[in-house]
Structure 1
């Protein structure tokens, strides 16, 4: 991975104009596609697999008047004024006709119309009258034009009422509005730029992460609009992808640019520094991005279509941010060139002026367990890590205790779909909600609909009344104002008004009680009931999301544990990372509960009403926060492992890795918190708890878990932190995030010294053979290596290793300038391999026809027929004429001279003391 990113970084740096032009061109192309396809955000939401949704779907076909969306217009008299005043009645009756003229309105029933009892009502005190509107379609799918026209008619009614009377509009239609884009994103970007400016110390360096993020966000947003032309996409989807795209796009570029400036400070040339920063920080970016994407795609576990679309869109935004970061950032570094090279520190300038030597590099103490950091290192973070690791057990106990204290309020966490009761207090829907609660009771804001088939009934009206009587007897039922069949007398509905509000846990208990009554009512009355309506749908959604949390957690945590194990080659580090994530999630849940349910700091955050949290919050927060938590784990711990790989000192690497990455991790976390928290004070109630949870979760995870708890735990573990069973190590692929292979490859660029040597080995030990078998060789271009051995496994192991098909046990090996096993994939493309024991001479002809630079042919001793040997000799001659270097494997004493043209340079490996030497 690091070697591939190193080459990609060099190429992007060298071809910077082409790379930048390609990304800008792609942005324009996708923008044109979005404009031509005309995708729109329709906000249609369906929750398959729930009883309420299935019943709602049936009602849409059999009783559309009851399946649509409702709105409520409330007329209230002040100071005891009665709504039966003739002037009030006249104004209300006139408004009914105006409401019926609005698009999508299927019925508007006056509270003074006695022909449809129960559909509308006058309060018992006579001070309020409720006009009910029915609209076709789902509430969130009804456009703003319809809502605005309804508000206008309600305003006209309010103006027509006599003095002392008010009219407001609210109800189900206005209870949920999906949030859109706002000025909050701009505020988050401004804060991010300030943090970048402080961290990177210049406008050019600070601007690169912003440009990187804005390009990625632009691409992902346009792709969402393109997708909207083919599937249902809510307006929350681009909002989530924008939040994530901004945050990770800035952070990922920040890590690469920061590493680039570190390398420039060591004196490296700009292109080499860009390539190496892309190889090391870019590797961490890729795997951090993968964890975020896994978590977001895991949102599909809930089985809710629009939530799945949100997760996929967010994962796409993160994926685009990763691709842009590892290509566009090196290109922009090429444009900036030397301008990003840091100036020497004040101390270094003083040393230079005084003619003294600069401070020495960090050196391990005698015991290898501590690291004496020189004064020119960041003193703040050096002090932080010393404090965290000085008494590691104390640090662990204190931090875990503090996190559990933060998490304690989460025991009271309640979930529900928000209703108009959490809208701003001065909004029409909130005023209507509160007044309905005052005059009609809280249950009038969310009546339940009980429906079922009555096609077999001889007395449908009597049946509906019998069912209504059964429901009236249930605890928690305030009234049953409506029980009626539809026009075709095949479906009946019963409207049940609870004594409690839509989000009250007692209402959910009532829904379950009605469903528990189904067998009894079916047996007594032949009515197979189902409970639906806006309130029941919200209850079912919350229950379904709650049931999905465990499989979601298993999916996300399980896959990411595997990924982190591959990255860090450790058992303890991934487990520690996961436990820390769970503590961060619990703390975030606790803070959200404390604010939105207990009211702590609620006024400061403009929380309009205390109550349950939006039911999507836990699964969205868990998914997004897992990915972001793993970001900091990868960026911080990969730097520790990088230092450990190079130094071999486990505890010393904690301090050096921490100091080397803590500044940039701090900046990244501050940016994340700023972007998320910008949505809290003025944000929509749907997004407020999610944004607050993410802001708190990121802050806790970065500063408490990753930068405090993690160093302490690793100090306790020492060398055991990097232990991994050898069997598991062999099975799992290695991605070399730390750049160990890259450093080795760079350090061996000058070997072999002879540029004509195509195959070079020194101290090479072959896998699956005795460890005493050592090979040293140098085969030049156009030469032939003949490997003799008494056992077939020995020449086969050598040829397979040189061909990149088998990893060496130890030692150094280069083939055609490529270091093995680092560049094994490239070597396999350049080295042809033929086993005459299994493939035959025809396979040799095919391999020669591909004109490989190196051709390995094993078991030439098996070709004994003179005609076949002549055929093989002709094929090998053609390969030599094409400039190939040949490697021949021979078992026994059979010569290979007759297979080669006269005068061909030959190097022979023969058995000596049972080994290839």
Structure 2
């Protein structure tokens, strides 16, 4: 591997324009494909194989009008004023009728016609006339000229009205211009009638983009690169190649987005991971080239070839670990998550290839200018600085107090992981949005006027278990009555039956909010086959709707998480065994990773679920953690943690192979690699931290978890625990049974075979 990469690096350095033009052609093809096919991105997060999704698919076939997404808008009068005055009623009624005329919006009159075609007259009467039993709710229909405005209810004090309507398709399939038209239609009321209009989060699809905070992260990365490499030219190359790598990776995904279902979060995840690894991989190679020039007096050409052959080998295997970790998500079988993983993995792959081909080509254009004259004049002092300084004092202290380092690290990270015991998974929504957002204000107004459950209605279906039994008006009425008697149910309304009369559909409003544990318990209790309703009427109840879909998504992802962690652990042991030809190193690295990931999720839970330091991180209200965040973060952190493991420990192994033993190999290897690993970690922390302060709570949580995870793994695990444990074992850390030694191939990640070959031939370009 190292010999092949050495030849590739020298070839790219010698013929830079061939490689540069090749990459320009790739970029041109991607741009052309985007121009022809366009960019097709959705916010759909469909979880195949869940009960709620099964029911949605069933309704789409048997009762399409009931399977579409739901939109809602809140109208609110000034304090102490009412909406049901003549002037406001006329304007509200007109705006609502205009919404019903828009494409993709179901007009209640058309919906009633569809129901009349698919249900008997008796059943239709029940669907229209039967309501929840019990005490009357503190709200009613909004009346205009003695007739109710379709789809609108008014709070008892007349201050708030809730307008709910159906789309013909699910939210993720609604064109953005339709949502914009709905909002524009109702927003006119604010100016003409003094009514506050608050569109719900269902009308505001997830949109993510680059903000100023990410730019600040890149600026910090540029400063760290300059301080590490000591040259504007050298510092600029990792930034340039990383940006190109991200552009090619994400651009390629956009180019084929018309053929695959790509979510809007996929591109942001690829951007986060691609920038971080792209900068780091180029940094490792450029730093190695400069050290070879300054410390060994090699020409820039020869140093570039050796840097690609040695550090490039580590880059290749480090990138491979990230790709494998991301692709491991495919075994979970969740479509949108698989696509996110594939786009991110493809972007990492592109960054690896760019680091091994385009970077040495750019180094060829730069030539000997990669090291300034001042750096060459001071090369003796620089070499001495590498061998001493902070790194020397730190590693000697870690070795001297290794048992204290091990115990304190384990205790601190274990304490940080404690909040995991109370971690709640879900989909952050309007309930935890910032107070100044329209989505949160709409949520609060609905909760105040009608009850929190109106923010997360459930769709319930009832199917007779006996195929010969049909749904009758009496049966619908009885089911409505019994559903209303279930704990935590506020209101139940029948919507109708399908054409064959063997499926009834109801709208159910819980008393609690969409992300509350009580709502999840209600969904599970309704689905249980042993419920009183299911037994009494010999029916099967199913629950779906936006809230139920989120509950099912969280449950399935939580169940899949242990499986994924198991896959990661097995992969970690195998890959590190191949790379380091040791049993202790893989076990130590994997245990360290598990400690860092547990502490990461513990701290993330404390911040986003418990609300610790919420003002610092720019959000107002605590809420559940994003259901797919643990799986994503685990995969990404594993790959990046193995980056540091490979670069740090491979340097120690290289020192061991070249004759250093015991503590000397650990000290020498640490001093050679720690400076660039610390710089890489600081860069990753800066890049990921830039995403913490974005407005989107999903990106905010992922960015925070990655930031704290990188910090813990780099500075607690790799810089402290790893050398402390290695010092405890000494040379035995490289032990491998003879029978296993014969089986495991020698990948020569350290480039020892390459260096030996070059030294034997005395290869040196002048």
Q: State whether TM-score is above 0.5.
A: yes
Q: How far apart are residue 181 of structure 1 and its match? A: 3.8
**Cα-to-partner distance string for 1:825-849 (whole Å, 9 max, x where unaligned):** xxxxxxxxxxxxxxxxxxxxxxxxx
Q: How does 1:233-248 map to 2 (within 5 A)?
A: 233-248=262-277
Equivalent-residue separation in structure 2 for 1:552 and 1:503 (angstroms): 25
Q: How far apart are residue 488 of structure 1 and its match? A: 6.4
Indicate the residue corresponding to 1:738 in structure 2.
750
Does residue 1:135 correspond to 2:131, yes or no? no
Q: Which has the higher helix share?
A: 2
**655, 672, 679: which is aligned to 2:667?**
655
**What secondary structure is seen at the aligned counterpart in 2 of 1:478?**
strand
Indicate the residue corresponding to 1:529 in structure 2.
541
**452, 472, 497: which is aligned to 1:442?**
452
**407, 418, 429: which is aligned to 2:428?**
418
**213, 218, 233: which is aligned to 1:189?**
218
Equivalent-residue separation in structure 2 for 1:233 and 1:359 (angstroms): 52
Indicate the residue corresponding to 1:367 in structure 2.
none
Indicate the residue corresponding to 1:263 in structure 2.
292
Equivalent-residue separation in structure 2 for 1:171 and 1:246 (angstroms): 30
The answer to whether the 8 A contact 1:6-1:278 is kept is: yes
Q: How far apart are residue 670 of structure 1 and its match? A: 1.1
Indicate the residue corresponding to 1:206 in structure 2.
235
**Cα-to-partner distance string for 1:365-395 (whole Å, 9 max, x where unaligned):** xxxxxxxxx6663411111212211110001
Indicate the residue corresponding to 2:614 in structure 1.
602
Equivalent-residue separation in structure 1 for 2:273 and 2:469 (angstroms): 56
**622, 626, 629: which is aligned to 2:634?**
622
CA separation of 1:360/1:741 partners in 2, compared to 1, >3 Å: closer, same or farther? same
Does residue 1:168 correspond to 2:180, yes or no? no
**What secondary structure is seen at the aligned counterpart in 2 of 1:734?**
coil
Equivalent-residue separation in structure 2 for 1:85 and 1:750 (angstroms): 95
**275, 295, 305: which is aligned to 2:325?**
295
Q: How far apart are residue 71 of structure 1 and its match? A: 1.5
**Cα-to-partner distance string for 1:637-668 (whole Å, 9 max, x where unaligned):** 11111111111413211111111111111111
Equivalent-residue separation in structure 2 for 1:679 and 1:9 (angstroms): 34
Q: Which has the higher contact order (CA 8 A, sep 6+)?
A: 2
Q: How far apart are residue 533 of structure 1 and its match? A: 0.5
Does residue 1:409 correspond to 2:394, yes or no? no
The answer to whether the 8 A contact 1:301-1:548 is kept is: no
The answer to whether the 8 A contact 1:118-1:481 is kept is: no
Equivalent-residue separation in structure 2 for 1:673 and 1:318 (angstroms): 17
Q: How far apart are residue 680 of structure 1 and its match? A: 1.0
Indicate the residue corresponding to 2:126 in structure 1.
none
Indicate the residue corresponding to 1:25 in structure 2.
25
Q: How far apart are residue 68 of structure 1 and its match? A: 1.1
The answer to whether the 8 A contact 1:416-1:615 is kept is: yes
Does residue 1:158 correspond to 2:158, yes or no? no
**125, 132, 144: which is aligned to 2:176?**
144
**451, 458, 466: which is aligned to 2:478?**
466
Indicate the residue corresponding to 2:135 in structure 1.
none
Equivalent-residue separation in structure 2 for 1:219 and 1:538 (angstroms): 33
Q: How far apart are residue 750 of structure 1 and its match? A: 6.3
Q: How does 1:539-554 map to 2 (within 5 A)?
A: 539-554=551-566
Does residue 1:334 correspond to 2:364, yes or no? yes
The answer to whether the 8 A contact 1:406-1:591 is kept is: yes
Q: How far apart are residue 346 of structure 1 and its match? A: 11
**What secondary structure is seen at the aligned counterpart in 2 of 1:748?**
helix
Q: How far apart are residue 478 of structure 1 and its match? A: 2.0
Q: How far apart are residue 459 of structure 1 and its match? A: 5.2
**391, 400, 408: which is aligned to 1:381?**
391
RMSD (Å), alpha carbons: 2.4
Q: How far apart are residue 487 of structure 1 and its match? A: 6.6
CA separation of 1:539/1:118 partners in 2, compared to 1, >3 Å: closer, same or farther? farther
Indicate the residue corresponding to 2:105 in structure 1.
105
**Cα-to-partner distance string for 1:565-600 (whole Å, 9 max, x where unaligned):** 000001111111111111111121122111112222
Equivalent-residue separation in structure 1 for 2:393 and 2:108 (angstroms): 70
Equivalent-residue separation in structure 1 for 2:181 and 2:329 (angstroms): 36
**443, 446, 460: which is aligned to 1:433?**
443
Indicate the residue corresponding to 2:335 in structure 1.
305
Q: How far apart are residue 342 of structure 1 and its match? A: 5.5
TM-score normalised to structure 1 length: 0.76
Q: Which moved more, 1:299-308 or 1:485-494?
A: 485-494
The answer to whether the 8 A contact 2:211-2:694 is kept is: no
The answer to whether the 8 A contact 1:74-1:129 is kept is: yes
Equivalent-residue separation in structure 2 for 1:115 and 1:470 (angstroms): 30
Q: How far apart are residue 250 of structure 1 and its match? A: 0.7
Equivalent-residue separation in structure 2 for 1:538 and 1:482 (angstroms): 23
Q: How does 1:79-90 map to 2 (within 5 A)?
A: 79-90=79-90
Indicate the residue corresponding to 1:569 in structure 2.
581
The answer to whether the 8 A contact 1:213-1:246 is kept is: yes
Indicate the residue corresponding to 2:247 in structure 1.
218
**What secondary structure is seen at the aligned counterpart in 1 of 2:143?**
coil
The answer to whether the 8 A contact 2:644-2:714 is kept is: yes
CA separation of 1:74/1:482 partners in 2, compared to 1, >3 Å: closer, same or farther? farther
Q: How far apart are residue 253 of structure 1 and its match? A: 0.4
**Cα-to-partner distance string for 1:853-891 (whole Å, 9 max, x where unaligned):** xxxxxxxxxxxxxxxxxxxxxxxxxxxxxxxxxxxxxxx
Q: Which moved more, 1:207-216 or 1:256-265?
A: 207-216
Equivalent-residue separation in structure 1 for 2:385 and 2:288 (angstroms): 20
Q: Which structure 1 segments of 5+ residues have no match?
A: 350-357, 362-373, 752-917
Q: Which moved more, 1:152-161 or 1:78-87?
A: 78-87
Equivalent-residue separation in structure 2 for 1:482 and 1:378 (angstroms): 77
Indicate the residue corresponding to 2:137 in structure 1.
none
The answer to whether the 8 A contact 1:584-1:697 is kept is: yes
CA separation of 1:316/1:439 partners in 2, compared to 1, >3 Å: closer, same or farther? same
The answer to whether the 8 A contact 1:395-1:712 is kept is: yes
Name the count of aligned residue pairs: 728
Equivalent-residue separation in structure 1 for 2:96 and 2:382 (angstroms): 85
The answer to whether the 8 A contact 1:108-1:131 is kept is: no
Does residue 1:400 correspond to 2:410, yes or no? yes
**What secondary structure is seen at the aligned counterpart in 2 of 1:480?**
strand
Q: How far apart are residue 12 of structure 1 and its match? A: 1.4
Q: How far apart are residue 79 of structure 1 and its match? A: 3.4
**What secondary structure is seen at the aligned counterpart in 2 of 1:78?**
coil
Indicate the residue corresponding to 1:281 in structure 2.
311
